[in-house]
Amino acid sequence: MQLVPVLASNSVLNISDVTKYYGKFKALDSVSFSVDKGWVYGYLGPNGAGKTTTIRIMLGLLEPNRGEVQIGGVNPIKDPVQAFRSVGYASELPTLQTFFTAEQLLDFMGKMFRLSTQARKEKTWQLLNLVGLKEWGKRKIGTYSKGMVQRLSLALALINDPMVLIMDEPTIGMDPEAAVNFRNLFINLSKEGKTIFISSHLLDEVQRICTHVGMINKGKILFSGPIDQVLDAFTQKWVVEVELEKVSEKIVSSLKTLDSVGDVKVDGNRLMIELKEKKDVRGEISSEIFKQQGVLLSLNLRKITLEDAYLQALKGGQ
């Protein structure tokens, strides 16, 4: 099942029929999706799929050859001042101005959003505290580690208390503890009604925090919709993951004949057996493998993950 992108009337981010060429290369091909208020939207795709190009078009840094982007009903190319008033952006592995201290940079960004001196001062230290950089606030950014720069980048994205947060790989380069803290922060921000758009490779992270997901490959949107719907759309919710010493065609064919099995996918010496319904059929499967003289190394029944759906979508191209 392919989910049809719906351009909702109350959408905060609206990408409509956007096509972008780099020379003759078509980076985005009629990309359309929308993100409503309060959604945490995970934007997935392999390297070179068009994720960053989409984000750069949203930010008005690239102009599409066709189509339009609207943030809060405003085209950022035509009116960036209005469009970005309530937008926060954190880029992937950002390079920040190393001649500033974190305090100075946050203050400068606050000025760009016309915050008062008092508000800037309060917000600066509140955010530095939030991202765990309070002790580093008065040090030059040039002395920071990559993870610290990433954290500061998130603080910068929050300086204007944005209604829309656009983030490109926001937790990349962070230590696991910081990444968990930030995931919780995103969840809390979404509870406050903020809209969060996250481009990420970390499918587990997306599955944990996103309410909706969009997937892009080779410049085309494969699907866009609620995360549960996406999981349902690709396969049944349960799979048995099997590791064998050696996979043979005979084993695969025989497993496919079982009533409870929907499909069997081979990945090296691993089998991903999709079930037609939630049912513990591990005994049946292992018995079938033994019958075909297979050597079973491991066998797990689990709910399908976003990663499974993602990989299937990439392979299927649908």
Residue ranges binding another protein (CB under 8 A):
22, 52, 56, 59-63, 80-85, 87, 89, 91, 94-97, 99-100, 104, 108-109, 111-114, 156
Q: Pairing mode, if any, of strands 195-199 and 40-44?
A: parallel
The least CB distance from residue 91 to another protein, in Å, is 6
**Residue 167: φ, ψ to 5°:** -135, 130
The least CB distance from residue 60 to another protein, in Å, is 7
Dist CA 137 CA 314 (whole Å): 43
CB nearer another protein, residue 22 or residue 290:
22
Cα diameter, the chain: 76
CB nearer another protein, residue 23 or residue 176:
23
* Cβ neighbours of residue 81 closer than 8 Å, sequence gap 6 or more: none
DSSP 74: B
Q: Give the count of beta carbons closer than 10 Å to the beta carbon of residue 279.
A: 11
CB nearer another protein, residue 143 or residue 248:
143
User: 121: burial class by Cβ within 10 Å (0-12, 13-18, 19+)?
Assistant: middle
The least CB distance from residue 80 to another protein, in Å, is 6
Write out the two tokens for 31: 């990309």
Closest Cα to residue 281, out of 268, 307, 265, 299?
299
The least CB distance from residue 125 to another protein, in Å, is 20
The least CB distance from residue 157 to another protein, in Å, is 9
Please check whether residue 11 is in contact with residue 36, taking contact to mean a CB–CB distance below 8 angstroms.
yes
CB nearer another protein, residue 58 or residue 231:
58
CB nearer another protein, residue 100 or residue 125:
100
Strand ranges, E, within 169-254: 195-199, 212-217, 220-226, 238-244
CB nearer another protein, residue 1 or residue 61:
61
Closest Cα to residue 225, out of 35, 15, 9?
35
Please check whether residue 67 is in contact with residue 17, taking contact to mean a CB–CB distance below 8 angstroms.
yes
The least CB distance from residue 100 to another protein, in Å, is 7
The least CB distance from residue 62 to another protein, in Å, is 5
CB nearer another protein, residue 52 or residue 217:
52
The least CB distance from residue 41 to another protein, in Å, is 18
CB nearer another protein, residue 168 or residue 308:
168
HSE, side-chain direction, 13 A CA sphere, residue 79: 9
Please check whether residue 236 is in contact with residue 305, taking contact to mean a CB–CB distance below 8 angstroms.
no
One-letter identity of residue 307 = E
CB nearer another protein, residue 141 or residue 179:
141
Closest Cα to residue 262, out of 243, 289, 281, 287?
281
The least CB distance from residue 193 to another protein, in Å, is 21
